[in-house]
Amino acid sequence: MAITRRRMLVSGSATLLALGFPGHLWADDITAAQAIAAFANGAEITPGGVILTMEPVAEDGFRVPIRVAAEGAEALLIVAPENPVKPIALARFGPRAVEQQLATRIRLARTQEVLALARMPDGTVRQVAQAVDVVVGGCGA
């Protein structure tokens, strides 16, 4: 098989993928729906069963405290659908975690409903939403 320029390019990209070239470099422009679908992995999403703790009003959109908890979850996902980059953080828990939860501080570009999802070990996925009024947007979030 002759090594053409096209074939070289194709195999080069395939090699990068095979090497596990970090997906995050491309992930910044995915939609909220795509981020959620990738997380849910085909499972139906049921409402409730995740504790999402946030103040309803965020004075400073650059630093908004958030806590997400779902005991027994294998992974948690935070999504801000009105931010330029929709997924915020995806936490995967290992055998040493308990009371599976994550607290952090996030940027919110504008007033929106923040989503928190939990994937359980049986593959089921839960989701809750909370509206947050953002006074000063963490623009460019």
Q: Which two tokens stand for residue 45?
A: 């999403």
Least Cβ distance, residue 138 to other proteins (angstroms): 8
- The gap from C-alpha 43 to its chain's centroid, in whole angstroms, comes to 16
Query: What's the rounded Cα separation, in Å, for the pair 93 and 95?
Result: 7
Which of 32, 43, 51, 91 touches other proteins by CB under 8 A?
91
Least Cβ distance, residue 137 to other proteins (angstroms): 12
Q: Which two tokens stand for residue 29?
A: 């422009």
Q: Which two tokens stand for residue 76?
A: 């948690």
Nearer CB in complex with other proteins: 85/129: 85
Least Cβ distance, residue 6 to other proteins (angstroms): 30
Least Cβ distance, residue 29 to other proteins (angstroms): 10
CB 110 within 8 A of CB 133: no
Query: What's the rounded Cα separation, in Å, for the pair 73 and 98?
Result: 9
CB 20 within 8 A of CB 80: no
- Binding segment for other proteins (CB under 8 A), chosen from 6-14, 102-110, 118-126, 128-136, is 102-110
44-83 mask for other proteins (x: CB under 8 A)? Answer: ------------------xxx--x----------x-x--x
First to last CA, the chain: 48
**Residues lying near other proteins in the complex (CB under 8 A):** 22, 24, 27-28, 62-64, 67, 78, 80, 83-85, 87-108, 138-141
